[in-house]
Chains A and B, each alone.
Chain A
Amino acid sequence: MLFRKMLRDLKSNIVQFTSIFIMIFLGIFIFTGMHAVGNGMDQSSKVFYKETNLANATIYGLDFTKEDVKQLESKDGVEKVERRFQTNASLENDTKTTIQLNIVESNAISSNHLVEGEAFQRSKDGIWLNSLFAKANSIKVGDSIKLYVQGQIMTKRVKGLIINPEYVYGVKDENEMIPDHNNYGYAFLSSQDIKFEIPFNQLIIVTDLDKKILEDIKLSLFKEKQSVLVMQEDYSSVRMFQNEINQMKAMETIFPIAFLLIAILTTLTTMTRITVNQRTLIGSLKALGFSNGKILRHYTSYGTFIGILGGVLGMTTGPIILPDIIFSFQKGFYTLPEWKGIIEPTVALIVFFCISCCGLSGFFACRMELQGVAADILRPKAPKINKHTKLEKSRWWNLMKFDYQWNIRDLLRNKLRCAVAIIGIFGCMSLIICAFGLRDTVHGITDTAYKNINTYDTKVGLSEKITQEKFLEIEKNGYRQFIQESAIEIDDNGEMVSLAMTVIGEGDYLKYKGIDDKSITLPNSGVAITNKIAKLYDLKINDQLKWRLYGTDKWFTSKIMRIIKNPVGQGIYISEDSYKNMNQIMVPTAMLTNEETSKFTQEEFSFVQSKDDLINNMDVMMETMNAMIALLISAAVILGVVVLYNLGVLSFNERIRELATLKVLGFQYTKLRKILQIQNIWITLLGTLLGVPGGYLLLNYMLKYMGDSFDLSVNISYFSYAFSIIGTLMLSIGVNRLLSRKLKKIDMVSALKGVE
C-alpha cells in the first residue's frame, strides 16, 4: 500500500522527480558511457597489441646481421628478435604520397592484422598495404601498384589490406596532428621478395626486460655501431593512444559529477519538502502502529525508486550510445581493428552508490520529522522563528523595495535550495564555457601553429643519400630554409629522456614567440626549449641542459637561452650558428619553401608535406568536434533548465499562498512576474560569475590530458564569454517566463481558503 502512496506522491511532485530522474540519467549515462569509451579503448588496444604481438622495444641502427639477432636472442629475458628494414617510398603516379615500407623476415613480431585479402606469408610475392591508405587512394586487393623506392621503381601486386599495431596513430611527422590517409600510409613486404641485399635498420624485440637492462645489453652487443633503443611505451603511436585513453578516463569522472551532485541535492530538497508537508501523516502512520523503520524505509524508497529508474536506464544506454559518438571522432585519429565500449563490473558499484545517496536523502529528511512521539509529530510544527539578520538592521534595508526585501529573506530562509540553484547554474555555465573554449583553443592551434609560427607552404624531406652536388643545386634553386630534425636524449637528473631537436638554418619561415607573445630569435649560443618541455622537466632560462644525439656517446652541455611557446612540435631548437659553435655540422634533413609540392618528385626527396593539407585536416577534425561541442552544450542547457525550472516550481509552490495574497491585494501579473524573476536573475548571475572561472579550470583540466606533444593553453575568446553569459541569462529568463504562466493559474479563492 505504501508503494502505491509513493507512486501517487511521485505523481503529484512530477516536476521535481522528473528533474531528479533526468539528472541521474544524464549523470550515469555520461559516467558509464565515458567509462565504456576509455576502458573500451584501453582493452581494445591491449587485445590488438597482444593479438599482433607488438614489439616491446626497437633498436634502430644500421646493417643488422643474422648474427646480431642470434646474440640478442641468447640473452636472458629476450624472447624473440626480428630484423626489419624501414624506408620511405611513394606512389609512382602521386609523389606527394609517402608510404613507409617495412621489409620483414617473418612478421611474427608487430604482425599485421588482416582486413581483406590474403594474410602475410614470407614465401609470397607481393605487397600488403595499409587498408585506410588503400581506401583513400582507391587501391584494391589484386591491383598492381608502382612505387618509387630509393630512386627505383618497384611494381607490386597488392596481396592484402592490413593494419599494424605500430600505426594506431600514424602521422608523417611531429607537425602533423591528424593522420592523412590520402598522403601517408605504410606497407609490408617479405624480405625473400627483395632481390638486393637488405640493409636491415631495425631490430624489433619481444621481451619483458626494462629499459635500463636492455640499454646495457645494447651497449655490450653493438658497441661499434650507432644504435638507439626505443621502448614500446615511447613509440609515438602507443604514447599518443595512451594519452587519449587517459584523457577519456579523466572525463569519465569530471563531467557526471555536476549532474549527480545536482540529482542528490534536488532529492534532498524535494524530500525535505515532502516530509515537512506530510508531517501529520507521518504522525498518523506512527500512531497507527507503523514502526520508525517502516516509515523511514517508505521515504527512502522515493529516491531509491527514481535512482534505480534513472540509473538503470543510463547504465543500459550510455555504454551503447556514447561510445558510438566518441569513437566516430576518435576514428579520425586512430586506427584499431575493433572499437568497442566495454564496462567493468565495478562501475555498477558506483552507480549503486549514487542510487543509495538519493535514497538516503529521503531517509535523512524523514528522520528529522520522526523525532519525538506520535502525539508530538501530529501537532503541527512550531513555525520557524524569523530572526532579523544583520542586513535588516542596517540603515539601507528600509530603503530597499519590497521585492528585494521579500526575495532576500526568501533566499536566506532557503539556503539549500539557493545553493543547489547556484551549483546548477555554475555547472551549466562551466560546461558552456568549456565547450566554446575547446573550440576556440583548437581553432587557435591552427592559427598559431600553421599561420603564425610555420609560415612556409611546403616541407620537403631530404633523403640521407643526397649527394653534395645535388644539395648545392637544391640550395641554389630558390629560396629555401634548411632544418635538421634529430632525436636527442637529455639527462633529466640521471634519467634519460628522448626528445626532438631541430637545428634551424638561415631563413625566415619559422617565427617563434616567447611566453609573453613577443617575437624571439634563436640565439647564437645555447639552445631554446619549448614551454611544455620547460614545465615537464622543470627547466628555466639560464639552466644548463645536458644532451646528446640519439645513439651517440658525446654529451653536450648547453645553456637554455630562450623559452618558446609552440602548440605542436615540443622539443629543443638550436640555431645553425649555435650548433656550429658546439663544433657540430648541421646535416639538413628537410627544407622549407613556398614552392608547390609537385616540384619535388625526385629521389633525393624522401617526403613532401603541404601545409594546406595539414590545415584542411584540422578543419575536418573541427567539424567532428562540433558534434562533441553540441553534445556538451545540450547537456549544459538541460542541466540549467532542469535545475532552474525545478527549483522555480519548488519555490513557487512554497509561496503560492503569499502570491495569491499579493494577487488579491491587487498586484498586477507583470509585477508579480518581476518579483519572481529577481531571485532567478540573482542566482543566475552569481552562478554565471562563478562559472566563468569554473569553465576555465575545467578546460584547463581537459587540456592537461591532451598529451605531452601538445602545449595547449586555454584560449577563450571574448565572444565565447559574452555568448555563454548572455545565453545562460536568456535561459534563466526563459525558464522564468515558463514559470510565470503558473501565476495566471493561481486561483485566489481556493489558495486562500484554509490552512492545510
Chain B
Amino acid sequence: MKSYIEFKKVNKEYKLGKNRFLAVNNIDFTIGKGEFVVVLGPSGAGKSTVLNLLGGMDTVTSGTILVDGKDITSCSDRELTDYRATDVGFIFQFYNLIPSLTVRENVALVKEIVKSTLDVESVLESVGLNDHRFQFPTQLSGGEQQRVSIARAIFKNPKLLLCDEPTGALDSDTGVVILSLLQDMSRIEGRTVIIVTHNAILAEAADKVIKLKNGKVQEVIFNNNPIPVNEVNW
C-alpha cells in the first residue's frame, strides 16, 4: 500500500528556561490511506506532539512530514491554516466546542471556512444527534458533546481524522460508542483515522499500532485481523 502519511527524521525540541528537551526524537513512520491507527505510549512519550505536528498546529524543529505527497513542514502559516481547514478533522479530549453556539451551529460554522461540506442534517444524523440540534453544548452529556465534535470534524469531509485521547474524559461505555463511531469512519467511509491514547487495549482494534516512548518510536505493530471496537475485551 502506498504511504499516505510519511514522517522522515522528525525532531521537535522544546525549550524550558535553560533546559532543552526533545519531545520527538528522530521519528520515522508511515501510514497508509484509510488506515485506522492507534498511537500508544505513556504520558510524556510525545504522542500528542506527533499529532500536533501532523495536524499543522505546531512546527517541527527538523525533518519532513509528507501528507498525500505534500510537505507540510515547508508550509507558510497561511497554508497551514488552509491545510487544517480542508484536510484535517480534529477531535479533542475536551471537545472544545463553542459554548455560545448550538449543536447545529457548532457544526455549521465550518461552512465559514470550507466551501464543499457535507449536509449538516445528515452528519448530525450519522452521529445520532438529530434530536439535540438546537441545544447548547452545556446541556449535553460528555459523550454527546464528543459526538458533536466528531460531527464538526467530518462535516468538512476530511481525508484525515486526528483524535487526541477522544475518550479520556468519558466513561468506558460511552467511550466504546465513540471509538466504534471513529472506527466506522475508517472502515466504512475510508478516512484515515489516527487516535492517540494511553489505553493499550485499543491496540487490538487498530490496523496499525505505533508505540512511542521517550520521544522515539519503540515499535510499529501491524494488525492483520483487527477486531471491531465493541468486541474488544474492555
Contacts and interface: CB of A to CB of B under 8 A. Distances in A.
Q: Helix, strand, loop or mixed for chain A's interface?
A: helix
Given A665-B84, A667-B113, 18 more contacts: A383-B138, A385-B136, A385-B138, A385-B139, A386-B138, A402-B101, A402-B105, A406-B100, A409-B101, A663-B81, A665-B109, A665-B152, A666-B114, A667-B81, A667-B85, A671-B112, A749-B48, A749-B57
A413 B99 CA distance: 11
A406 B96 CA distance: 15
B86 A666 contact: yes
Contacts of B52: 748-749
B110 interface: yes
B92 A752 contact: yes
B94 A749 contact: no
Nearest to B84: A666
Interface in A66-107: none
A585 interface: no
A410 interface: yes
6 contacts: A413-B100, A661-B96, A664-B96, A665-B113, A667-B81, A748-B52
B68 interface: no
A388 B138 CA distance: 13
A554 interface: no
Interface string B19-53: 00000000000000000000000000000100010
Contact of B138 (A384, A403, A668): A384
Interface of B: 48, 52, 55, 57-58, 77-78, 81-86, 88, 90, 92, 94, 96-101, 105, 108-114, 134, 136, 138-139, 152
Q: Which of A661, A669, A748 has the most CB of B within 10 A?
A: A661
B134 A388 contact: yes
B202 to A, nearest CB: 21
A470 to B, nearest CB: 89
A664 B84 CA distance: 7
A752 B109 contact: no
B109 A749 contact: no
Contacts of A754: 94
Contact of A668 (B81, B111, B152): B81
Contacts of B92: 752
A475 interface: no
Nearest to A666: B85
A574 B202 CA distance: 105
A401 interface: yes
A9 interface: no
A657 B88 CA distance: 19
A658 interface: yes
A457 B114 CA distance: 74
9 A-B pairs closest in CB distance: A666-B85, A386-B136, A666-B84, A409-B100, A383-B138, A661-B96, A402-B109, A748-B57, A658-B98
Interface string A384-410: 111010000000000001110110011
Contacts of A657: 96
Contacts of A663: 81
Nearest to A409: B100
B57 A661 contact: no
B94 A755 contact: yes
Interface string A728-756: 00000000000000000000110010110
Interface in A658-691: 658, 660-669, 671
Contacts of A386: 99-100, 136, 138-139
Contacts of B98: 406, 658, 661-662
B94 A752 contact: yes
A669 to B, nearest CB: 7
B94 A405 contact: no
Nearest to A659: B98
Nearest to B86: A666
A383 B96 CA distance: 15
Contacts of B112: 401-403, 667, 671
A410 B98 CA distance: 11
A406 B114 CA distance: 18
A529 B110 CA distance: 71
Contacts of A406: 98, 100-101, 109
A749 B94 CA distance: 13
Nearest to A675: B112
A410 B139 contact: no
Nearest to B85: A666
A668 B98 CA distance: 17
Q: Which of B98, B99, B113, B134 has the most CB of A within 10 A?
A: B98
A740 to B, nearest CB: 14
